[in-house]
Structure 1
Amino acid sequence: MSLEVLDILRVIALLSFAGGTSFLGALISKYKKFGDQQILFLTSFGAGILISAAIFEMVIEAERIIGIALTLLSFIG
């Protein structure tokens, strides 16, 4: 299996973006003090984003394997 150059560049770009935002978040937290409520909100928001991304990938694969009707039924149930 060979990877195309554009796929490799896409991975590099996404990893650079993720690393850059992590670094930016570390810088912001160094200079700004957050309260407990703000930390809880940001943590839960980030967790929701990650869970949504994982579910989105699973739903696409499930639709391909078992079809749209069973995927919708399983997702709703």
Structure 2
Amino acid sequence: MIKTASFGFVHVAVAFGVVYALTGSVAIGGAVALIEPLVNTIAYHYHEKVWDRIRRRPREISGGTHVLQG
């Protein structure tokens, strides 16, 4: 759990640093550092749902038989 928390901190710090370097604005850097991880978390949720659906889909192989991908 500590590793996860430290990575979250690094993620927010990098987002802030990049935006601050590009804009020179603490306010914009702070806003992006807070909003980007939230949006990224939501996007990841839907990304995983799509991949779960792809994994469950039968896969055609030669001879017309189907196998489930695992």
TM norm. shorter chain > 0.5: no
| Structure with bigger gyration radius | 2
Taking structure 2 as the reference length, what is the TM-score of the superposition?
0.43
Larger RCO: Structure 1 or Structure 2 (Cα < 8 Å, ≥ 6 residues apart)?
2
Taking structure 1 as the reference length, what is the TM-score of the superposition?
0.40
